[in-house]
Amino acid sequence: MNANAESLNVGLPTSSFLPSIGGAEVGLHNIATRLQARGHRPVVIAPVPHCRGLREQNWDLPYPVVAFPPKVWGVLRHWPELGYRMLDAAFGRVARRFGIEVWQGTIGYPVGAALCHFAVPRGLPHLVRCAGEDIQVDRDIGYGMRINPRIDAQIRRWLPRADRLVAITESVAAEYREIGAAESRIARVPNGVDVARFQVTPDRRAVRAANGIDPDAFLFLCVGRNHAKKNFETLVDAFAALDRDDAHLAFVGQGVSRLAARAAELGVAGRVHLIEKADEPQRSDDRTRLPSDGLVALYRAADAFVFPSRLETFGIVLVEAMAAGLPVITTDAPGCRDVVRAGIDGLSVAPDDIDGLAAAMRNIRDDENLCAGLSKAALARAEDFSWDSVTDRYVALYRDMIAEHAAACQGEAA
């Protein structure tokens, strides 16, 4: 047990981690970093390929990262009970080595289910934070692990038994209820953003020049990997219908280069910029500042943000855009409407509504007063999602769960 009652030893197992860059990975890194800064002792437990990647790329993280057993995920998929026993042993070794007092699992399957298998029968304080396809399902686009009935069965069997399931939006809370979780086990904690980082104004013209963007154009920005649920082709179509030759559109994210054919077909290729990775010269030790300095600079170099997604768990890029003071246009879709309140923090249209999206972009482009008002509202909304307040809420959850388990043990002893 930790000798310092004010600090905690926290186990943070995850199915995916750095150097992969996504909402789940960035979120966990920021939580671990802030726990460490507060005097707690977090340790991340990640799959072998991620640990190897961190070593090979010389990442210098402020907290320890240890590996799960190699190939254990394949064992779990094919022989669940054997895989769970192997993971029980792995969790036990980490618990003994680091004196873990409370666990936080990131991604509901396989790690979340495995953590519950380990922690529930042992009476150990733990929570699980789902991140996207591990809990949400969209059969129309083939999205979601739970389309697989075997995985769905494991999620339904184990996740409702967790001490807490963290819902980063109300849309996720609804999915927890659908799999049978009691409302009392659902905790609302959003993802976060380092608001201060997005307030630093770069040399906009230099940032644009580095990415081949007209320095004088009105720039719409969209950030995210090119996946069917992101609906990026609809945004290309809406941009083509915008009919504003002085407007440009930049996509930043993995796979966005696949949009080139659609942009060329619509005759807007010269004004659509497809950036697979936002980079600018920076020291190697700055890689732990996520999102990257290059991406933050692009947010600040843009004039408005557009995100046409059909489905999100949280939509962290929306919060990042608001922290940068950008007027935001998004869709009335799960995960997006939870972050951007239509008519308050930004504009909202129906998913797949090309004409509605083009009209909203036209309004932003042509109405300076609307732009200024939405920018001010975006900045105010971003303050609701600071990483410091998010971390405080997690620590409060840890202490609540530890107290609940201590009370239960005293009750059994009596």
Compute the average pLDDT of residues 169-191.
96
Q: Looking at the predicted structure, is the pLDDT value of residue 75 above 70?
A: yes
Q: What is the mean pLDDT of the chain?
A: 93
pTM flag (> 0.85) = no
Task: Measure the CA–CA gap between 338 and 172, rounded to whole angstroms.
Answer: 10
Task: Measure the CA–CA gap between 347 and 330, rounded to whole angstroms.
Answer: 6
pLDDT in tens, 189-203: 999 999 999 988 889
Compute the average pLDDT of residues 201-220.
95
pLDDT confidence of 279, banded at 50, 70, 90?
low
Rounded to 5°, the CA angle 379-191-93 comes to 155
* Least confident piece of the model among 125-134, 176-185, 218-227, 282-291: 282-291
With a CB cutoff of 8 Å and minimum separation 6, the contacts of 7 are 38, 39, 40, 41
Classify domain 9-192+387-413 by CATH number: 3.40.50.2000
User: Which pLDDT score is estimated for 142?
Assistant: 92
Give percent of the chain with pLDDT exceeding 90: 87
Residue range(s) occupied by CATH 3.40.50.2000 in the chain: 9-192+387-413, 196-385
Identify whether the C-beta of residue 224 lies closer than 8 Å to the C-beta of residue 299. Answer: no
Long-range CB contacts (within 8 A, 24+) of 23-27: 23/131, 23/132, 23/191, 23/313, 23/314, 23/316, 24/106, 24/107, 24/131, 24/132, 26/290, 26/291, 26/316, 27/106, 27/129, 27/131, 27/191, 27/192, 27/316
Task: Measure the CA–CA gap between 290 and 25, rounded to whole angstroms.
Answer: 10
Identify whether the C-beta of residue 213 lies closer than 8 Å to the C-beta of residue 302. Answer: no
Q: Looking at the predicted structure, is the pLDDT value of residue 286 above 70?
A: no
- Domain 196-385 has what CATH class? alpha beta
Identify whether the C-beta of residue 229 lies closer than 8 Å to the C-beta of residue 309. Answer: yes
Q: SS3 helix, strand, coil % of the chain, rounded to 5?
A: 50, 15, 35
Compute the average pLDDT of residues 318-325.
96
pLDDT confidence of 410, banded at 50, 70, 90?
confident
pLDDT in tens, 29-39: 999 999 999 99
As beta bridge partners, residue 12 has 44
* Phi and psi torsions of 140, nearest 5°: -65, -30
Q: Looking at the predicted structure, is the pLDDT value of residue 2 above 50?
A: no
Distances (CA, A) of 368 to 362, 363, 374: 11, 9, 10
Q: Can you read off the two tokens belonging to residue 314?
A: 């949280």
For residue 274, give the DSSP letter.
E
Identify whether the C-beta of residue 317 lies closer than 8 Å to the C-beta of residue 198. Answer: no
Distances (CA, A) of 150 to 42, 78, 88, 153, 305: 32, 10, 20, 5, 39
